[in-house]
Structure 1
């Protein structure tokens, strides 16, 4: 193993900088891909919720109204 001194040759520093830049680019690409996937999932969920709400409201409203009126009187 090398002993690291305060004064490193330029070639080592340049290599490390290049590696850092490559890692940052990869991270950015991964983040962009993840964001796109999340947006697609959210849209699907919204559509499902709307359908469910309509069905529940239409079916259950009559039952709830009927039972509430009976209990009140």
Structure 2
């Protein structure tokens, strides 16, 4: 997957998986796990979506190292 280098030298994926309007906890968790399984390494969420906990659980349970996943969140 293509990335862009940020000013702090981190590589951020150019393509991410968004979880806007996935309000059901289990569905969100399942969707994020599947996205990670298929190769996504950037997950885009926001506090107002109400699904940050599901995203976090999915990342934790995915078996992928946390430092290999770029999480984007907004307030």
TM-score (norm 1): 0.22
Q: Kindly indicate which of the two structures has a greater share of residues assigned to helix.
A: 1
Greater relative CO (CA pairs within 8 A, separation 6+): 2
Tell me which structure has the larger Cα radius of gyration: 1
TM-score by length of 2: 0.22
